[in-house]
Structure 1
Amino acid sequence: MKTRVSATLVLSLILALLLSACASPAAAPATPTIGTPSTPTTGTSSAPTIELLYMTHNHAPSIPVNEAIIAEFEATHPNVKIIFDNAPHANFEQKVLTAFAGGQGPDVFWAGDWMVPQFLDSGIIAPVDPTAFGVATQDEFEALFEPGSLDAFKANGKIYTGGISEYNTFSLIYNVDALKEAGIKPLPKDRPITWEELADIATRLTVKEGDVIKRVGLSWPFNVPIWTVLIQEPMLRQKGGELITPEGMPDFTQEPMVAVMTYLQKLRQADAIDPATYTDLLQDFANERSAMIFGGPWAVAPLKTMNPNLNWDIAPLPQFANAKERVTTLYAWAWFVSAKSSPEKQKAAWEFVNLLTSKQKEWWEKVGYVQARKTEIDGKPLREYYIQTDPRLATIFADYAYGKFEFRSTKYFELSDIWTRAQNRILTGEDVMSVLRDAQAQAKAAMTD
């Protein structure tokens, strides 16, 4: 009896499934309609929700700005939900790569320009969609930004970013009173001093009690690889060198590199610099433990807060007396969209990036990030607006014109780490050429790994 009932139930189930399969298919979901930030969409919609994962590194002032922009975007795009992942700053780019390798990469994220070769090699970033920015072509999109600011994000005739979240160069920031006490006049703003002059000034500004340095003449984060590149690569280029040869291989033993490293070793031997005294770039300067530092526009607001009474100013980045050309540095954090995301997600993501890049005033006033997308604020072009907040910024902005982005390589992290380790050995007094030969061997191994 049980067998007969079971058979009947099975037959009934099969019949029901067959009837269901023969029924008319349901209509496919409509493609989500993504409104523009300037045209709020009200009411409810039956379109399916698009969920975007937005990933940034942790920088406390940027969190509320990001959250406010997300809320604004979601209010005008009711079918889009943005999940905000604010990851720790340390090794952030590697975390992005790891997330993609595990199939859980973000749809929108920011990262440094030096990551572009690795991102392209991994196939994880999409070329920009100009229509999301209200223009029809890539050339029109590029015209929305400061000339040259997107150069680091170009490859194969395409632009792989929707805009820059933080656009920087380095200039020389110095303690005016420290120079005065040493009998040195304020540094010129209309021309850079030479690295040779800087060496003399930094040596004179170092203050010692016995063998203990109480104030060092010049300082930067010596153990941070990106800082090694940002400080030394302009010096290398001023001498006519490039870390990466036209064949795509690093060259640590070239004469310009030897000259730069020899210069740094002499700075250390004169106690003009001392890695052992370094704790924090801005805090050391604000507390007068260092007399000069390198920094960008991001340094201005924090320094005024850390020590309102400190008398400091800004000079152009130094150049070698025999420089082939005047060169400063450029580096940027930018917004990317994942090539792994669906077309619907990419469309929404680019429109979100359009909104992110249109908040120039908020990024500056609340975070201190310089933007590259052109606009007028309070009736002034963007850079004039920045400078009115602190006239000292004019010197930094003049240095942008001579800036070049960092070297391009899928082995950026390995090479910058090799460079830093070589620098630190040389600063301890090791033979420059021997150290650079070791660095070259390590670089060759890294490139073939």
Structure 2
Amino acid sequence: MRRLLSGIAVAALLGSLTACGGGDDAGSDGPITLRMTTWSANPAHVQLFDAIAAEYKATHPDVTVKFDALPIDNYTTTVTTQIAGGNAPDIAWILEGSAPDFVASGALEPLDDSIENVADLAPAATALWKQDGKLMAYPFSTSPFGVFVNTDLLKKAGVTLPAEWTWENVITAAGTVAAKTGKQGLVIRDFDYKDWTNLATVFRGWDAEAWTADGKTCGFDQQPMIDAMTFLHKAIFTGKALPAPGVAADFFAGESAMTIAQISRTSLLKEGGFGWTLVPLPAGPAGEYSVIGQGGLGVLKKGKHAAAAAEFVTFFTSPANSAKLAQFFPPPRQSQLDAATLAKANPLLKPDQLQNVVIDGIADGVVKPSHTGSAELNQAVRAGLDPLWKPGADIPGVLKGVCTAINPLLAK
């Protein structure tokens, strides 16, 4: 089933499912249970979600909210499978990569009337989630990527944090730590030679792009991407600065010197475990840059309780709860996007870290690659890149092959 759905455009699947109509709260009596799918089973995230749901239940005793954490590797295909099987969630956490499919499909209820003070939402944060001027999902997380650094491990290897924070210097430092400590150097979290979209945190430093802004022209065979992937390939197989294919390393367990991740991961750092800091992505040949990951909250028309779900979303996204969620998920509310406000919800992070990585990153960043037909497209890119992950790969040839594979999909 997973392989089948990977070959289907999610937009087409969702579009075919909306024709039958959605859930109906009218006339229902007694308690109801709302189900919201998420991709995070992080205990700290779950605890916060449960606390918000419990507060809601105090004033809505007939409504119980349950959070269904699904593995991120096949999150979107699992959600679409549930919809196809008549088991649609009431609310879904939508990843930025599949946002164009969900937004365009007609599967979501417009949320403009469900969001308190919608004018406070930053236009840059909502752009991906709008259709015909309507807000189809609430971008409750607009989170730039940064680099977490294990300063104790660097010190053990006799390495200092490069004053000139560039990719060349970072990879040199990461390779040295790996060689001297037996640990890994830099981990691009959640990449694992599978989710290629996380490589945008690297290749955007070369001003490379997977495809043009209009989504019609492949960028993998262009010189910026060739240069970026050549650099990355050398870092993996020559410099040994990144884990090789098949090698797992968890920065938060002290197994690598650095990792590229978002502040939602900060809760994994237990105080006293090891010294660490958080810094922006390194500058590339094209200069400084930032890459943003987003999560949108959407109400499914096919859910059993669409109206009740929209009411809970009103509560979940209120300014008060937005401030609580800011502990892990930088909010889209402009009134809350300042270091002092975010610092209150993020005691493990310093105001200057929040300013440099989050505030400045949101102001200047670009969202990870997204496109309609994301499931089929991402599978094609992943398969096309597979020959790249071995020594001696023909990098330009591999990248040309990626474009050959996805050009028909981009043309749809």
TM bin, normalised by shorter chain, reads 0.7 to 0.9
CA deviation after TM superposition for structure 1 residue 294, in Å: 1.0
Query: CA separation of 1:134/1:299 partners in 2, compared to 1, >3 Å: closer, same or farther?
Result: closer
CA distance in 2, matches of 1:60, 1:205: 29
- Inter-CA distance 234–376: structure 2 relative to 1 (3 Å threshold): closer
Query: Which range moved further: 434-443 or 253-262?
Result: 434-443
Which of residues 63, 66, 73 in structure 2 aligns to 1:84?
66
Equivalence for 2:173? 201
1:438 pairs with 394, 401, 412, which one?
401
Q: Name the residue aligned to 1:259.
A: 227
Question: 1:235·1:319 contact (CA, 8 Å) conserved in 2?
Answer: no
**Equivalent residues of 2:206, 2:284 under 8 A apart:** yes
Residue among 293, 301, 304 paired with 2:259: 293
For 1:147 and 1:383, the matched residues in 2 are separated by 19
1:367-421 C-alpha deviation (Å, 9 max, x unpaired): x4443346679x9953242455421444422333322112231232333344444
Distance 1:72-1:273 versus aligned 2 partners, 3 A rule: closer
- Kindly provide the amino acid, as one letter, of the partner of residue 398 in structure 2: V
Q: Deviations over 1:323-381 (max 9, x none)?
A: 0x532111122210123468xx444322211211232454456xx4443346679x995
Unaligned segments of structure 2, at least 5 residues? 1-24
Please state if 1:150 is matched with 2:126. yes
Contact 1:328 1:403 in 2 (8 A): yes
Aligned length: 376
In the TM superposition, 1:231-246 aligns within 5 A as: 232-245=199-212, 246=214
Q: Given residue 132 of structure 2, which amino acid in structure 1 is its aligned partner?
A: N
Q: The residue matched to 2:208 in structure 1 has which SS?
A: coil
- Percent identity reads 24
Kindly indicate whether the alpha-carbon contact (under 8 Å) linking 1:387 and 1:394 is maintained by their aligned counterparts in 2.
no
Whether the 8 Å contact between 1:126 and 1:160 is mirrored in structure 2 is yes
Residue 310 of structure 1: SS of its match in structure 2? coil
| Structure 1 residue aligned with 2:389 | 427
Which residue identity does 1:160 align to in structure 2? M
SS at match of 2:182: strand
The residue that corresponds to 2:276 in the other structure is 312
CA contact (8 A) 1:109 1:335 kept: yes
Once superposed, what is the RMSD of the aligned Cα atoms? 3.3
Q: Which has the higher contact order (CA 8 A, sep 6+)?
A: 2
Whole-Å separation in 1 of the counterparts to 2:36 and 2:346: 30
| Residues 132-211 of structure 1: pairs in structure 2 closer than 5 A | 132-135=114-117, 141=118, 143-146=119-122, 148-164=124-140, 166-188=141-163, 193-207=165-179
Separation in 1 of the partners of 2:331 and 2:323? 9
* 1:379-418 matched pairs, under 5 angstroms: 382-386=341-345, 388-391=347-350, 392-397=353-358, 398-418=360-380
Matched residues in 2 for 1:376 and 1:440: separation? 41
Query: Structure 1-normalised TM-score?
Result: 0.73
Q: How does 1:7-22 map to 2 (within 5 A)?
A: none
Residues 177 and 185, structure 2, Cα contact 8 Å, conserved in 1: yes
CA contact (8 A) 1:223 1:420 kept: no
What secondary structure, in the 3-state scheme, does the structure 1 residue paired with 2:278 have? Answer: strand
Evaluate the alpha carbon distance shift between residue 327 and residue 301 of structure 1 in structure 2; reply closer, same or farther with a 3 A threshold.
same
Partner amino acid for 1:127? P
Question: Within the alignment, does 1:282 sit opposite 2:251 as a pair?
Answer: yes
Secondary structure of the structure 1 residue equivalent to 2:259: strand
Seen in structure 2, the aligned counterparts of structure 1 residues 216 and 157 have a Cα distance that, compared at 3 Å, is: same
TM-score (norm 2): 0.78
Q: 1:297: Cα distance to partner?
A: 0.9
| Higher Cα radius of gyration | 1
SS of the equivalent of 1:336 reads strand
Q: Identify if the C-alpha distance between structure 1 residues 387 and 290 changes in structure 2 by more than 3 Å, giving closer, same or farther.
A: same
Alignment of structure 1 residues 30-69 onto 2, 5 Å: 48-49=29-30, 51=32, 53-57=34-38, 59-61=41-43, 62-69=45-52
Q: Which residue matches 2:18?
A: none
CA distance in 2, matches of 1:380, 1:252: 36
Q: Distance in 2 between matches of 1:311 and 1:247?
A: 42
Unaligned runs of 5+ in 1: 1-30, 33-45, 136-140
